Structure 1
Amino acid sequence: MNHLNIGIVAHVDAGKTSLTERLLFDTGVITRIGSVDAGSTQTDSLELERRRGITIQSAVVAFRIGDLRVNVIDTPGHSDFVAEVERALRVLDGAVLVVSAVEGVQARTRVLIRSLVRLRIPVLVFVNKIDRRGARHGDLLEAIAAELGPNCVAMGSVDDLGTPDARFEPFTGADAHFTARLAEAFADHGDAFVDSYLDDRITLTEADYRRELARHVEHAWVYPVFFGSAITGEGVDRLVRGIAELLPRVGAEAAEEPLRAVVLKIERGRAGEKIAYVRTRSGTLRPRAEVTLHRRDHGGAVIELVGRTSAVQVFDEGTRLRDADATAGTIAKVRGLAEARVGDQLGSADGLPTRGLFAPPTLESRVTPESPRQRPALHAALQRIAEQDPMIDVRTNEETGAISVRLYGEVQKEVIGATLADTFGLRVAFEESRPLYFEKPVAVGEAVREIAGDGVNFFWATVGLRIEPAAHGAGIVFRLGVRLGGLPLAFHRAIEEAVHATLRQGVHGWEVLDCAVTLTRTGYASPISAAGDFRNVTPLVVGDALKRAGTRVFEPIHRFELEAPGASAGAVVALLSGARAIPEEQSTRGDRCLVRGTIPAAEVHGVTRRLPEATRGEGVLVSEFDGHRPFTGHPLPTRPQTGPDPYDHDRYLLHTLGRVRGT
């Protein structure tokens, strides 16, 4: 049997989950369509999802179209849960991008489109809500094409747009305008079909056009656009046909290749056991089989672990599972892999991603339990939550015991708080979220610590390092400026690991990025020196070198769209100016004004809170992370160091050895 894994992706409230329900209904999996508002959908299975009416975690359901088994991954639409979307995008064969015919292409839609195009994922566009008042067609097609590219092809027209009687009328091969549009879209990638189209002696059939369209969709050269309504079901049958005919399938031949699979989700069973959702790309994953797991550490090095599966279940229809081997193209629930984490690759490290599709969280918040005695339980609970979303990156101050988490937004904070209360019985308080800044070196700094008999070093290790700026997006680059072999490999590894660990906190307490570190000097005293000596002295060398290089603090910036009544334009501009925002484009549409630009992430929450007053409750602000820029405000933001402070020599030695120089 052939398999296909598709994702339903969209801006929040565009109708993703409703479309998933309609697909299950139209393919005979369910007999009654659930409601998002009523919390009765197949994919919103968490109690919290049902209460809030939003998708928080990606969910998998399955249906069949003839001999094709389709797994559908319903992803969150809210930007606070972008990490869930990233994990889904990495395992897809194709995607259905849902766009509201009323709201059109929104900020979140643009972010998703950029990722789909960058990954060259085949995409079918479904314009939903054609039955709603205010639904658009022509200008919406232009807006979609402006983001996806000119080769967006409407697969039909809409009658009675914006009314309950709205109908999608598909084009056929007999429609000369439609076939001409297809030929135009095909012209950029091969002349053979276009030559046949122009040759009067050749008659092309509708099957010829569908076959060529499928080839172009598979390579992400053309994007078919369907119209319909997930609520009424109009146009969904044509979308189902498009899924079966136009998106690329995974055949049985891939089962003969070596195992390669990806962990896309982690959950816990009733007994607390870990369950991994695994998408198999090639080979076969069987129960009671030994498998290798591959992941990257913070420094980018590949770590390999070994595990053994105890049970494997594949998705059958809807959310139902059956015991079976996970062959190529399937998504399975796998038990027994106690060490598995989201993003792990099973069987092979080939193709293991080096960086994320979306930016990491830009906010941080401190979490405090009702009672200090609950702090260990809170830390354990947050670690369990981090299994499902590693991006939250639980951080503990070793001196104060304070616990903090990384966040994408305030809704995610509310969800974590509700999960701690409902699942773990812990009631917590969150401090106001603050942005996550980072530091970059601005010059070159060098330092060395040598083995000495005067007690200055305290460690039987010589380490010299040079720190300098690296290219944008480089992260941490570790280089050898010494002869390999002059130091035991374990000592080299201890130095590199310590460099990466130390640079997670810079001079001002923020993570250091875009930094090149060169090992310039080494030495040891055999047989006294141990890896621990190098692991302990390296942070001091990093601290000395980074202080000499100096660092600049960068702040996260969001790109925003703010829509408000035209009469409020003056108040809106004043509000943005006070928030250090930079308006780049201002336009009017009827009696509404639209402002686009950039704003510091630290100011987004404040603007959102004050916007109703400035616009009489009619303003809407949407923002997405857009990058970083040097911090220009005052005072310079700092963050307390956690653990030994390598930028304060005496405190570091006191924390590490219990003594300082001269004692």
Structure 2
Amino acid sequence: MPLKTRDDVRNVAIVAHVDHGKTTLVDKMLWQAGAFGERDTVETTGERVMDSGDLEREKGITILAKNTAIHYNGPSAKDAGQDQVVINIIDTPGHADFGGEVERGLSMVDGVVLLVDASEGPLPQTRFVLRKALTAKMPVILCINKVDRPDSRIEEVEEETYELFMDLLDDAEGNMDQLDFPVVYASAKNGIASTTRPGNGALPDGDSLEPLFKTILETIPAPAYDDEAPLQAHVTNLDSSNFLGRLALLRVRNGEISKGQQVTWCRHDGTQQKVKITELLMTFGLDREPAETAGPGDIIAVAGIPDITIGETLADAENPIPLPLIQVDEPAISMTIGTNTSPLAGKVRGSKVTARLVKDRLDRELIGNVSLRVLPTERPDAWEVQGRGELALAILVEQMRREGYELTVGKPQVVTKQVDGKVHEPVEALTIDTPEEYLGAITQILAARKGRMEQMTNHGTGWIRMEFKVPSRGLIGFRTEFLTETRGTGIAHHVFDGYEPWFGQIVTRLSGSMVADRTGPVTAYAMVNLQERGVLFVEPGTEVYEGMIVGENSRADDMDVNITKEKKLTNVRASSADNFEKVIPPRRLSLEQSLEFCREDECVEVTPEDVRIRKVVLNAGERARASARARNADKS
């Protein structure tokens, strides 16, 4: 029997590399479709309204995929014979570390709008999201954004994207019809789109996003369903409400679902349970409003099932047919997260320090984060947490810190796998854009990190683009060194590219650590004497303890220092000014920078107020004995 379609609904995901304008475009689509009130302004609602999390706004990136619904009644809806078309839009992250969110978002839609920067062109994450869309055999709309940039190169970027399609179609086993994709030229910041290619650096023709809306209605297929099939609704995301508890976000595939209806909850483990839908909500703009019923193609939220999780199915009560589970790529980076074991643990009022609280929080994260794994370790108060990348794990730790948890976080490691009896490690495709004068320095850095140059392009503007294959562990700590070498001008992006045989030893940090040898407050007098030996991380008055890292030694070996030493008092009056004036301001490390700085025998202490780096073994004598045992073991 042929499938039917709902012509009044479209489900589309906005996908792109980080900072190519996804969230800004969704903002303008909401404004032009009338999703805000008459009295709302950009000043009252804020920009990037889809980036609702504090960390998302601070870092300027999308971390979680989110959905909104535009009730579009413009000219293109009338042309399609509809008074109004509901366009459900999924705003996905652009950073490779949040690829699980992209995959989950794609499971909710029938097509994608691929945004590509008119100057930067396709980058590693562009390849990742496009491969996922082509594998799912989804139609793609290419939207070349930021065409009004002074350095835009629209025609070249369009050609590069076409070549990327050709390259990926074989790998993704896609349909060659997907090569026949429409192209829209846009300036999301100005809310203008056109199907006519403008000149480089010029705004598109027109004064609105109407050409983009029209292309979406013509290219993205309406949701198809079997009119005689029983209810099937896929859980694609989770949320919570202060009044309703856990909310399950679902894409209805077949059948209808209603408030108060009894359905079958098909779990991950294969068991089934009858449950009642106590509340049904549908999205209108940025708000969820109560609804009585929803049909095929609708994206809804339901309440009344406390333990439901992503990938499960709500099916017909009498004829339950579960849908396939959502599959995501395996994690590539891991770190150990445990309770705070430093001498300063529990000093912050209201902090959460017990193993039970930390484990409960990690378990809660698993519910909504499809790309995360939490595994036990030899210690009962520490767990191995695996994720897509260093940033994704650092974001989790930062969220827990802000919620009042105290943690000990180990150095990020790669997740290896056995292939034909040999150890294989994850490899990243790294793309670098940099001024020409830094070519030699960057090549040298990446050669030491076992990087392999695949391609180099000179755009003739004084900038070059280099593409490398680098083991994932070679990129741990790379960003800080890269920005230092390029004076902050270089741009680097990377995405997971598979597994290759173990590359061998990589030395990523040539300097040693300055380690405090006793407990007490830092003194300016001690800092003046030590700052010539390296870079300090602490300031006068900071409380330190034995084994805490207080600075970076300019030499390769570690150095135990007394940073609490006080100036001896005498009855001779000093003729010079106070030494405090000579103290060089310390280098303050963020959480990400602290994790990058760590060596294998070091870890990061995270509290709601401070981030400190410390040795895993705090006592200097025990560290020396452990080092001697390791050397003897190597000799034997």
Q: TM-score, normalised by structure 2?
A: 0.66
**Which residue of the partner structure matches residue 413 of structure 1?**
393
Name whichever of 3-12 and 359-368 sits farther off.
Answer: 359-368
Q: Does 1:375 align with 2:358?
A: no
Q: Could you tell me which of 312, 328, 335 is aligned with 2:303?
A: 335
Q: Does 1:438 align with 2:391?
A: no
Once the two structures are TM-superposed, the CA of residue 393 in structure 1 deviates from its matched residue by 1.3
**Which residue of the partner structure matches residue 376 of structure 2?**
396
Structure 1 residues 74 and 101: CA distance shift in structure 2, 3 A: same
**Cα distance in 2, alignment partners of residues 129 and 384 from structure 1:** 39
**Which residue of the partner structure matches residue 331 of structure 2?**
361
Q: Which runs of 5+ in 1 are unaligned?
A: 153-215, 443-551, 639-663
Aligned sequence identity (%): 26
1:152-301 paired onto structure 2 within 5 Å: 220=178, 222-235=180-193, 236-250=209-223, 254=226, 256-270=228-242, 273-294=245-266
Name whichever of 29-38 and 583-592 sits farther off.
Answer: 29-38
**Which residue of the partner structure matches residue 502 of structure 2?**
631
Q: Does 1:120 align with 2:137?
A: yes
Q: Does 1:606 align with 2:477?
A: yes
Once the two structures are TM-superposed, the CA of residue 221 in structure 1 deviates from its matched residue by 5.3
Once the two structures are TM-superposed, the CA of residue 629 in structure 1 deviates from its matched residue by 1.6
Equivalent residue letter for 1:402:
A
**Which residue of the partner structure matches residue 484 of structure 1?**
none
Once the two structures are TM-superposed, the CA of residue 566 in structure 1 deviates from its matched residue by 2.3
Structure 1 residues 620 and 131: CA distance shift in structure 2, 3 A: closer
1:405-554 paired onto structure 2 within 5 Å: 405-422=385-402, 424-440=403-419, 442=421, 552-554=422-424
Equivalent residue letter for 1:315:
T
**3-state DSSP class of the match of 1:314?**
strand
**Cα distance in 2, alignment partners of residues 311 and 384 from structure 1:** 23
**Cα distance in 2, alignment partners of residues 260 and 58 from structure 1:** 22
Equivalent residue letter for 1:324:
E
Once the two structures are TM-superposed, the CA of residue 37 in structure 1 deviates from its matched residue by 13
**Which residue of the partner structure matches residue 456 of structure 2?**
586
**3-state DSSP class of the match of 1:390?**
coil
**Cα distance in 1, alignment partners of residues 244 and 286 from structure 2:** 24
**Cα distance in 2, alignment partners of residues 557 and 336 from structure 1:** 43
C-alpha contact 2:234 2:323 (8 A) present in aligned 1:
no
Equivalent residue letter for 1:311:
E
Structure 1 residues 32 and 583: CA distance shift in structure 2, 3 A: farther
C-alpha contact 2:232 2:323 (8 A) present in aligned 1:
no
Question: Alpha-carbon deviations, 1:69-111, whole Å to 9, x = none?
Answer: 1111111111121111100101211211111112221111111
Equivalent residue letter for 2:297:
G
Q: Could you tell me which of 19, 41, 46 is aligned with 2:48?
A: 41
**Which residue of the partner structure matches residue 566 of structure 1?**
436
C-alpha contact 2:131 2:168 (8 A) present in aligned 1:
no
**Which residue of the partner structure matches residue 488 of structure 2?**
617
C-alpha contact 2:259 2:291 (8 A) present in aligned 1:
no
Structure 1 residues 35 and 259: CA distance shift in structure 2, 3 A: same
Once the two structures are TM-superposed, the CA of residue 305 in structure 1 deviates from its matched residue by 4.9
C-alpha contact 2:333 2:390 (8 A) present in aligned 1:
no
**Cα distance in 2, alignment partners of residues 321 and 255 from structure 1:** 26
C-alpha contact 2:338 2:407 (8 A) present in aligned 1:
yes
**Cα distance in 2, alignment partners of residues 631 and 34 from structure 1:** 54
**Which residue of the partner structure matches residue 530 of structure 1?**
none
C-alpha contact 2:432 2:465 (8 A) present in aligned 1:
yes
Structure 1 residues 228 and 412: CA distance shift in structure 2, 3 A: same
Equivalent residue letter for 1:627:
G
**Cα distance in 1, alignment partners of residues 242 and 258 from structure 2:** 23
Question: Alpha-carbon deviations, 1:454-493, whole Å to 9, x = none?
Answer: xxxxxxxxxxxxxxxxxxxxxxxxxxxxxxxxxxxxxxxx
Equivalent residue letter for 2:10:
L
C-alpha contact 2:233 2:313 (8 A) present in aligned 1:
yes
Question: Alpha-carbon deviations, 1:405-445, whole Å to 9, x = none?
Answer: 112233323321232234x4324342221111122463xxx
Question: Alpha-carbon deviations, 1:117-175, whole Å to 9, x = none?
Answer: 111111212111122211222111111111224999xxxxxxxxxxxxxxxxxxxxxxx
Equivalent residue letter for 1:116:
A
C-alpha contact 1:278 1:332 (8 A) present in aligned 2:
yes
Q: Does 1:29 align with 2:2?
A: no
Question: Alpha-carbon deviations, 1:16-64, whole Å to 9, x = none?
Answer: 1111111111111125887699954332222332333322111111112
**Which residue of the partner structure matches residue 292 of structure 2?**
324
Question: Alpha-carbon deviations, 1:558-588, whole Å to 9, x = none?
Answer: 1112233322222222212111112222333
Equivalent residue letter for 2:500:
R
**Cα distance in 1, alignment partners of residues 333 and 46 from structure 2:** 30
C-alpha contact 1:62 1:319 (8 A) present in aligned 2:
no
Q: Which runs of 5+ in 2 are unaligned?
A: 1-5, 73-82, 170-174, 194-208, 347-352, 507-599, 601-636
**3-state DSSP class of the match of 1:21?**
helix
Question: Alpha-carbon deviations, 1:166-199, whole Å to 9, x = none?
Answer: xxxxxxxxxxxxxxxxxxxxxxxxxxxxxxxxxx
**Cα distance in 2, alignment partners of residues 52 and 10 from structure 1:** 17
**Cα distance in 1, alignment partners of residues 185 and 494 from structure 2:** 27
Equivalent residue letter for 1:433:
P
Question: How many pairs align?
Answer: 459
C-alpha contact 1:101 1:135 (8 A) present in aligned 2:
yes
Structure 1 residues 147 and 271: CA distance shift in structure 2, 3 A: same
**3-state DSSP class of the match of 1:228?**
strand
**Cα distance in 1, alignment partners of residues 450 and 505 from structure 2:** 12
Equivalent residue letter for 2:294:
A
Once the two structures are TM-superposed, the CA of residue 619 in structure 1 deviates from its matched residue by 2.8
**Cα distance in 2, alignment partners of residues 259 and 104 from structure 1:** 42
**Which residue of the partner structure matches residue 89 of structure 1?**
106
